[in-house]
DNA sequence: GCTGATGCGTC
DNA sequence: GTCGGAC
DNA sequence: GTCCGACGACGCATCAGC
């Protein structure tokens, strides 16, 4: 058995940067995967797409540019004896780095990085750095990787993709596909406490567009401005996962209790939006909800301060049975039967655009983000952005003044792309309300920059 | 023990 | 989360 | 239609440095 060197992986990555063609990228990666030893498959997949860990894995490196920069600066010239780094040895080093915590941990991590980097060629260094930043910039992420796994294993693309969307661990899926083949991939199924990738919605400009795409038979649901959550329950155990499959169970004890009190079914996976509300039940801004997100200390105290509400809108699994292939309207029916004392997302079913518009306007005036428009007959496509689900968000209807603007960075460096906003209050003074950069096209940035520069009263190179 | 910088994850 | 660009 | 990369604010925890 010969282990593959990290240099070979770096060469593959370099090759990927030389082409923009997806087919070619797929071929390069699949050829490489086919040559690997069994134990190398999963680490290689993660190192190529530049994520180290599966989405479901809570571990992180806690290293980024500011920590890596001093490491790179302190590197001496080549050491005398060079050990050949292999894919698995590099991966193990990353795992060790992720494990270090506590006082002096940054120092230890830096020492490990120094010894790692002092063993490598410039090409290896380039991609080791990108691995740490999680930005490979060679155009291969999950999507192309799934294609490559499919080619390398000779298995059907859609089966691999589906397995990945259900399992969430692309390294594991690659290993199963290449080792166990079709049989292994077919065995991948929904499991409790293993979150699946949530189905996504496509943006539409207005309801006309939505009706044109769907034709008849559609449902409109309120779209709440909060955190998308997937809730797994088995017996007395309940766990909550986010859109990116991170666990946030301990942040919302009252939700756990409510689930246990109101859902009798033993094994179930449901989905909804978690929002912050005030004492009257009106929605609070997203930032307020952030006070509870990732919180470890004073959970009980902040729980009183910022109450949350969970609005359910889908069911994915129930009593050993997957609901992914059940049409939307039947899933909703099942959901509403099971969770009688629970709030479901507010919704209507209609073919009438006027009725839909009234519903949408109600959502906005009640302080919500907009509506989701869903095809009644559509099944649940994990991890995919299909037009079975459409999202319509509110336009800004607020008289605001841009009081300052920051120069953008990267692609936006020529424009003033980040605007400090204010409203004018009763005393005719500016009340700063926040900043934004969203919702504009490049041309709009161009125009706004031009207009703002005419009005500028001060410029410190950064903020105008 | 306190504070600011840094990293991470939500949108 | 948004947007533009490549396929 | 789909995927990828390049962008931003904000809030929390952690850790280095004092």
- A108-140 per-position pLDDT tens digit: 999 999 999 999 999 999 999 999 999 999 999
Could you tell me the CATH number of the domain that includes residue A295?
3.30.470.30
Measure, in angstroms, how far nucleotide D1 C1' is from residue A406 CA. Answer: 35
Domain assignment of residue A260, yes or no: yes
Nucleotide closest to residue A288 (CA–C1'): D11
Nearest residue for C6, CA–C1': A20
Per the structure, the count of domains in chain A is 3
pLDDT (average), residues A369-383: 96
pLDDT digits (tens, 9 = 90+) for A31-69: 999 999 999 999 999 999 999 999 999 999 999 999 999
Do A321 and A429 sit in the same domain of this protein? no
| A195 within a domain of the structure (yes/no) | no
Residues A389 and A428 in one domain: no
Q: Which residues touch strand C (CB under 7 A)?
A: A 20-23, 200, 203, 228, 243, 391, 393, 438-443
**Do A208 and A310 belong to one domain?**
yes
Residue A462 belongs to a domain: no
Does the active-site annotation cover A110? no
Examine the domain organization and report whether A100 and A236 are in the same domain. Answer: no
Average pLDDT over residues A225-248: 98
Share of chain A above pLDDT 70, in %: 84
User: Does A57 share its domain with A157?
Assistant: yes
Q: Which nucleotides of C are covered by protein (CB under 7 A)?
A: 1-4, 6-7
Q: Which residue is nearest to nucleotide D14 (CA to C1')?
A: A102
pLDDT digits (tens, 9 = 90+) for A253-274: 999 999 999 999 999 999 999 9
Q: Is the CB of A437 under 7 A from strand D?
A: yes
Q: Distance, angstroms, CA A105 to C1' D17?
A: 14
Domain co-membership, A373 together with A438: no
Q: Which of A223, A233, A374, A391 is catalytic?
A: A223
- Of A154, A186, A218, the last residue of a domain is A186
Residues A264 and A352 in one domain: yes
Whether any strand D atom is under 7 angstroms from the Cβ of A381: the reply reads no
- Measure A378 CA to D2 C1' (Å): 19
Question: Over chain A, what HEC string results?
Answer: CCCCEHHHHHHHHHHHHCCCCHHHHHHHHHHHHHHCCHHHHHHHHHHHHCCCCCCCCCCCCCCCHHHHHHHHHHCCCCCCCCCCCEHHHHHHHHHHHHHCCCCCHHHHHHHHHHHHHCCCCHHHHHHHHHHHHCCCCCCCCHHHHHHHHHHHHCCCHHHHHHHHHHHCCHHHHHHHHHHHHHHHHHHCCCECCECCCCCEEEECCCHHHHHHHHCCCEEEEEECCCEEEEEEEECCEEEEEECCCCECHHHCHHHHHHHHHHCCCCEEEEEEEEEEECCCCCECCHHHHHCCCCCCCCHHHHHHHCCEEEEEEEEEEECCEECCCCCHHHHHHHHHHHCCCCCECCEEEECCHHHHHHHHHHHHHCCCCEEEEEECCCCCCCCCEEEEEEEEECCCCCCCEEEEEEECCHHHCCCEEEEEEEEECCCCCEEEEEEECCCCCHHHHHHHHHHHHHHCCCCCCCEC
A139 touches strand D (CB under 7 A): yes
Within this chain, do residues A346 and A252 fall inside the same structural domain, yes or no? yes
Write down the mean pLDDT value for chain A: 88
Domain that holds residue A438: 401-454
Work out the average pLDDT over A359-368.
Answer: 96
Residue lying closest to nucleotide C3, CA to C1': A441
Mean of the pLDDT values across residues A320-334?
A: 97
Question: In this structure, are A442 and A325 located in the same domain?
Answer: no
Q: How far is the CA of A333 from the C1' of B6 (A)?
A: 47
| The pLDDT of residue A217 | 82
Residues A294, A159, single domain; the answer is: no
Q: Write the pLDDT tens digit of every residue in A271-320.
A: 999 999 999 999 999 999 999 999 999 999 999 999 999 999 999 999 99
- Nearest nucleotide (C1') to alpha carbon of A274: B10
C1’ D2 / CA A385, Å: 9
Whether A385 and A415 map to the same domain: the answer is no
């Amino acid at each position: 058995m010969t282990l593959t060197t990290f240099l070979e992986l770096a060469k593959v990555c370099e090759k990927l940067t030389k082409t923009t063609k997806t087919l070619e990228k797929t071929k390069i990666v699949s050829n490489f995967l086919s040559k690997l030893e069994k134990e190398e498959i999963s680490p290689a997949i993660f190192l190529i797409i530049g994520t180290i860990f599966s989405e479901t894995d809570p571990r992180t490196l806690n290293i980024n540019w500011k920590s890596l920069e001093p490491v790179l600066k302190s590197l001496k010239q080549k050491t005398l004896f060079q050990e050949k780094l292999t894919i698995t040895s590099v991966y193990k080093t990353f795992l060790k780095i992720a494990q270090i915590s506590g006082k002096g941990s940054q120092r230890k991590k830096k020492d490990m990085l120094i010894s790692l980097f002092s063993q490598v060629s410039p090409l290896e260094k380039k991609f080791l750095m990108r691995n740490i930043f999680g930005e490979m910039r060679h155009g291969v992420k999950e999507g192309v990787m799934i294609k490559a796994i499919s080619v390398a294993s000779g298995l059907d693309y859609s089966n691999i993709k589906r397995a990945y969307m259900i399992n969430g661990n692309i390294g594991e899926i690659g290993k199963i596909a290449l080792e166990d083949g079709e049989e292994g991939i077919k065995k991948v199924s929904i499991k409790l406490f293993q979150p699946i990738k949530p189905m996504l919605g496509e943006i539409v400009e207005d309801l006309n567009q939505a009706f044109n795409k769907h034709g008849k038979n559609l449902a409109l649901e309120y779209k709440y401005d909060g955190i998308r959550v997937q809730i797994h329950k088995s017996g007395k155990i309940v766990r909550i996962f986010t859109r990116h499959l991170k666990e946030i169970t301990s942040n919302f004890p009252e939700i756990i209790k409510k689930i246990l009190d109101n859902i009798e079914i033993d094994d179930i996976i449901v989905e909804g939006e978690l929002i912050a509300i005030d004492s009257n039940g009106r929605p609070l801004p997203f930032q307020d909800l952030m006070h509870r997100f990732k919180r470890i200390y004073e959970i009980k105290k902040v729980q009183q301060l910022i109450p949350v509400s969970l609005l359910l809108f889908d069911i994915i699994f129930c009593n050993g049975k997957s609901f992914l292939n059940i049409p939307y309207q039947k899933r909703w029916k099942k959901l509403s039967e099971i969770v009688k004392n629970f709030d479901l997302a507010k919704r209507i079913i209609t073919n009438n655009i006027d009725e839909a518009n009234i519903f949408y306007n109600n959502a906005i005036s009640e302080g919500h983000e907009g509506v989701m428009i869903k095809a009644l007959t559509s099944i649940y496509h994990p991890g995919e952005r299909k037009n079975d689900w459409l999202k319509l968000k509110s336009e800004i209807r607020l008289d605001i003044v841009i009081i300052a603007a920051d120069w953008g960075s990267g692609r936006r460096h020529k424009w003033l792309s980040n605007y400090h906003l204010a409203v004018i209050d009763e005393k005719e003074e500016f009340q700063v309300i926040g900043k934004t950069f969203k919702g504009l096209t490049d041309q709009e940035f161009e125009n706004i920059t031009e207009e703002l520069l005419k009005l500028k009263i001060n410029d410190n190179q950064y903020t105008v």
